[in-house]
Amino acid sequence: MIVSQAHTIGVKEFLGTDEEGQVVRLAVQDFGHLVRASGPFMQFKRVSFEQFSDMIESNYDIRQARTGETVEVLRKVHQRNQVQHEPMTQ
């Protein structure tokens, strides 16, 4: 999940590989302006990785390798973090 308030943007803790974490960090650097809070009060804003990937896809050409890979990774991270795990039994 990407969170933004005033001029600050960040990422809440999520399950992912080191490589996915690096892609998420780069995505926030490159495309975070799409998420930034706006308006007179710059209120708190929260978007899922899937919503973030939709924003990128709507504003950039995902046929570019790096952009397409970024969107793909964000969607994969979103799916992994949406799975409801069954309790482990012994």
pLDDT tens for residues 33-62? 898 766 666 678 889 999 999 999 999 999
Condensed to tens digits (0 to 9), the pLDDT of residues 61-76 reads: 999 999 999 999 999 9
SS3 at position 67: helix
Question: pTM for the whole thing?
Answer: 0.80
- Total residue length of the chain: 90
Residue 89, pLDDT score = 56
- Rounded Cα gap, residues 19 and 24, in angstroms: 9
Q: At what angle do helices 65-82 and 49-59 cross, to 10 degrees?
A: 160
Average pLDDT, the chain: 87
Does position 15 have pLDDT exceeding 70, yes or no?
yes
Residue 6, pLDDT score = 75
Residue 75, pLDDT score = 97
**b/e per residue, 15-47, with b = 16+ CB within 10 A?**
ebeeebeebbeebbeebeebbebeeeeeeeeeb
